[in-house]
Every structure is written in C-alpha cells, then in structure tokens.
Amino acid sequence: MKEKIIIFDTTLRDGEQSPGASLNIYEKIEIAHQLAKLNVDVIEAGFPVSSPAQFDAVHAISSEVDKIIAGLCRANEKDIDSAFKALQPAKHKRIHTFTSTSDFHILGKFGHEKYGVSLEDKRKTILKMTSDSVAYAKSLCEDVEYSAEDAGRTDIGYLAEVIEAAIEAGANVVNIPDTTGYTFPTEFGNKIKELKRRVKNIDKAVISVHCHNDLGLAVANSIASIENGARQIECTVNGIGERAGNASLEEIVMALKVRGDIVNFDTDINTREIYNTSRLVSGFTGILVQRNKAIVGENAFAHESGIHQDGMLKNRDTYEIMTPELVGYPNTKIILGRHSGRHGLKARLNQLGYEVSEEKLIKLYEKFTKLADKKKEVFDNDLRILMGDTITEKDEFYSLDHLQITSGSKTIPTAVVKIKIEDQIIQESAIGDGPIDAVFNAIERALSIHPEVESYNVRSVTSGRQALGEVLLRIRSNSISFTGRGVSTDVIEASALAYLSALNKKNAHFKLNEKFNKENELTKVG
C-alpha cells in the first residue's frame, strides 16, 4: 500500500500570476471543474482581498466545486476576513495565510521601524504576526494552512521557531515554499528533514512544499521533499506561475507513478485527465506548452528517428516509459467534419472532458458547422478553441459584426469595422501601416478609445492549410493589462476578435469594480 501525497493545485492562484495570464471568472470556473475531474485534493482558487474579480472567482468556485477550496491571504484580519467570506459557500474551506521569514524578505519588506529596529526585533514581530494571524484564522475556520514565504532562503533555526509557533496557534498544514526557486534538491530535502527533527509539534501538521522553477529544479525539489517527509505538494498545471513558474503537477504525479518501483508514494490523480487539463489551461491562459515539455508537450510521445520507430514497432517498452493513454494523450487526430451531427460533437466534447448543456450545445454546433464549412477536418484542438470561445463570450459587451479589409503590395491598407454594442451597431473605417494596424485604428475610432497594445502574437493552433490562427494580445489601460484572444481561419479577423476580447475583459473588470465600490459605499452608509 502506497502512502498518499496530497495534491494542492494552485493554477488559479500562483498560476494566474504568470506574466501575461489573466483568466475571467467563467474560465476559472471551467478550470476548477476540470481540476475536480482530475481529482486534485485542494484547489487554491485565488487571493480574495486582492481584487473584486479574485473575490468573486473564489466565491463562485466555492459554491460550485466539491473539493477543499483554499483562499490565500496575508497575515492580517482584513485579508483573512475577506478570504473567509469568499470561501463561505464551500463545503470544505481552507484559509491559507503567510508571512515572510527570510532575512531578505524581512529586511526588504519590513524595513520600517514600526516592525522593530534590529533584525532580531523584526524577526520577533514576524513571529508574533504569524501566531496571531493563524490563531485568528483558526477562530473562523477549522482548516488553516500557514506558509513561510521564502523558506528556501530562511535560516533553519528561525524557520523551525516560526513553524512551531504556527502549529501551536492552530495550523494543520505548514507549507515550506522555495519562493525564489533557489535551492538544490539535496539542500531542500535536508531542510524538510531538519524541520522534522527540530519542530517538536511537527506531527500535528501536514508538511507541504511549494517550489518555484527559477533554476529548473522545482519538480526535483518537490520529490526530494517527499522523500524527506513532505506529504502535500503545491503545484500547477503545465508548471505555470510567477516568473519561471511552479512545480508542474503532471511531472510530479507521473514521476511518482512511473517510478513506483523505487518510491512508496502515489497520488489520487486521475492521470487520464492530465492532457485535457493541460490543453484547457493553456487555451484559457494563452500560455503555450513548449513542444518538448515532459508529459504534455506535442513531442512527449513522438518518436522521430528510424531506430526508435523500429524499436517501438517491435516493443513499446524500448523507448516508452509510460503510455500516452495513461495521461489521456489523444490517439485519434482527425475526428469530426461537416457531416458530423450534434450527437457526435457532444460525444467527442465529453471525451475531451467538457460537460455541455443542451443550450450550450446548440450554440456550439452552430459555430462548429461554420468552422467545418471552412475546414474539411475538425481536430480536437479546434474543438477546444470553440469551447474556449463560448466561455469567453459570457463577458461579451462588444462583438464584431462585420470586417472588411483592403490590402496589397501597392495599396494603403484600409479597414472597415462594424461593432455591435447591445442593440447598436457602430461603423468606422481607418487606414494603417498594415492591415492589422488599420483594423485596430478602426476599432479605436469606433469606440473612441486609445489603449496601448503592449504585445501581439499570432500562431497556428491546428494543422493543415486551413489551420486556425490564434492571436494573443495584451492591452494596457489605466495602468492595468488585459489579455485578449481571437481565433479564426483568417488571422486579420482573429486580430480584431482578440482586440475586442481584451476590451471586453477590461469592460467586465471596471464594471465589477464599480459594483464592488458601490456595495462598499452602501455598507459604509448603513
């Protein structure tokens, strides 16, 4: 019997902090449902106090998904109250609070004299903040996790003291993050071993680790921690997260499974949902999975050289340490076409991990037939894109009604756009340095806006001559960035759709903020 490792997924919190990733509430809910299907143990759904959008997402996921739902908060009552309020509907709620423990963080973030003059005094202040915040969280919620931020670079004596105080105050999970991805596997493993030796109440809590990937060691460090006593792993799908990301969920899970001959640990993850989850997260966040990424990359199960192919045909064990089926890697490429019916579409979507209501299916089928008219073969990735689009549409305020482009080697690129806003259609035209610039200028004229376009990327997401082109872009308005995504067989149309999708996210964001401010105003008056 293998010992269970708890999988704490932080794709929706640390993962969403990846540069360039921003998810709307519908995308977050869809990912949370998929994480439940994947059977993770804990879903960290967000950082509720940080914005109204984060609060709403944690609240919505808490009411819809039957898993342990965690909300992150700093070590103060306002943050903890906000997390607890957002988690209210959850059957199993966890408050996750943290303080900084390394000298780098203490001196860098708590430099003000009010925290103490000497390092020694500041350390005492942090110790007290830790006990007080954990005790306060425990007074509200049975399940409390404490994290010692930058534990990887924290002096072991002080770290042991803080961890002991957190457990004493009621933490049932203590998390040891390698926040800056600085440590080596043996070093980090020894840190966990040493904590087990020094912290006298350590058996009253589960030891968790949260490793970042700055040196590409996050997975190795997580495995070394398990070998030394950690029983919860914090990780993200595709390894996304701050800077170089977090430990990748799929790599840790599969390492434990494939090397079951040398490790006595396993997880409850439904590994056949790994590939679907990876695609869903990549599609919604716009963060591409590198081709050679372990477990979920395009090349993870491809055998190129003749020698390898010959070996595989004779016996798969020659070059394959796990089967693609085990991680849900699709074994069919072409699946549907213009003659496929609604039932066929639904069945394939279900196989890809999507639940679709009849109402949603009607809308999807309409889009599917339009796409199948343009493309002879509709691939799994096309369907994932269609699914992503219908989810994003829920935030739709502006939509593209019509687009016309004139462009060529000796013509001034000109665009005409008609944009639908509720029942109104606005038409404008503009010229530009190229057709895409002309489209953006026409949209800006129509809506009288001028956000900065921070980044623009176009790529092909499916194969063949009629491949779908995907445009990912980021705009900046009022110092906030919004990502937009558009997909079409025509990359200029995809660009217009991406621009409008970023504007829709911006619109939803400001509407939500307005509502939140109004509600706060009412509370103050009342």
16 binds ligand KIV (CB under 6 A): no
Residue closest to Zn ion when measured from CB atoms:
14
Q: Which is nearer to Zn ion, 14 or 470 (CB)?
A: 14
177 binds ligand KIV (CB under 6 A): yes
Segment near Zn ion (CB under 5 A), from 7-15, 44-52, 247-255, 395-403? 7-15
Q: CA–CA distance from 254 to each of 222, 262, 294, 482 (Å)?
A: 13, 13, 10, 34
Residue 509: name its binding partner from Zn ion, ligand KIV, none (Cβ under 5 to 8 Å by kind).
none
The angle, 0 to 180 degrees and rounded to 10, between the axes of the packed helices 274-285 and 380-392 is 50
210 binds ligand KIV (CB under 6 A): yes
d(CA 39, CA 60): 19
14 binds ligand KIV (CB under 6 A): yes
| Residue among 179, 208, 228, 271 that touches ligand KIV (CB under 6 A) | 179
Residue 51: exposed, middle, or buried by beta-carbon count in 10 A (0-12, 13-18, 19+)? Answer: middle
Q: What are phi and psi of 15, to 5 degrees?
A: -60, -40
| 201 Cβ neighbours under 8 A, 6+ residues apart | 164, 167, 168
Q: Which is nearer to ligand KIV, 133 or 276 (CB)?
A: 133
Residue 149: name its binding partner from Zn ion, ligand KIV, none (Cβ under 5 to 8 Å by kind).
ligand KIV
Q: Which is nearer to ligand KIV, 14 or 273 (CB)?
A: 14
Binding mask 8-47 for Zn ion (x = CB under 5 A): ------x---------------------------------
Closest approach, Cβ 492 to ligand KIV, in A, equals: 40
Segment near ligand KIV (CB under 6 A), from 175-183, 220-228, 311-319, 388-396? 175-183
Residue 238: name its binding partner from Zn ion, ligand KIV, none (Cβ under 5 to 8 Å by kind).
none
Segment near ligand KIV (CB under 6 A), from 121-129, 171-179, 218-226, 370-378? 171-179
d(CA 63, CA 351): 25
Closest approach, Cβ 178 to ligand KIV, in A, equals: 8
In this structure, how many other beta carbons lie within 10 angstroms of the beta carbon of residue 353? 21
In this structure, how many other beta carbons lie within 10 angstroms of the beta carbon of residue 341? 10
Q: Which is nearer to Zn ion, 97 or 504 (CB)?
A: 97
Residue 98: name its binding partner from ligand KIV, Zn ion, none (Cβ under 5 to 8 Å by kind).
ligand KIV
- Contacts by 477-485, CB closer than 8 A, 24 or more apart: 477/449, 477/451, 477/452, 477/506, 480/506, 480/509, 481/22, 481/454, 482/22, 482/506, 482/509, 483/20, 483/21, 483/22, 483/286, 485/286, 485/388, 485/392
Residue 147: name its binding partner from ligand KIV, Zn ion, none (Cβ under 5 to 8 Å by kind).
ligand KIV
Binding mask 128-167 for ligand KIV (x = CB under 6 A): -------------------x-x------------------
Closest approach, Cβ 208 to ligand KIV, in A, equals: 9
221 binds ligand KIV (CB under 6 A): no
**Conformational region of residue 478, where left means phi above 0, alpha means psi within -120 to 50, and beta covers everything else:** left
d(CA 319, CA 226): 28
Binding mask 371-410 for ligand KIV (x = CB under 6 A): ----------------------------------------
Residue 175 forms beta bridges with which residues? 147, 208
In this structure, how many other beta carbons lie within 10 angstroms of the beta carbon of residue 109? 16
Q: Which is nearer to ligand KIV, 178 or 395 (CB)?
A: 178
d(CA 186, CA 350): 43
Closest CA to 80 of 25, 146, 157: 146
Which residue reads 């939509």 in tokens?
399
d(CA 62, CA 36): 12
Can you read off the two tokens belonging to residue 100? 């900084």
Binding site for ligand KIV (CB under 6 A): 14, 98, 147, 149, 175, 177, 179, 210, 212
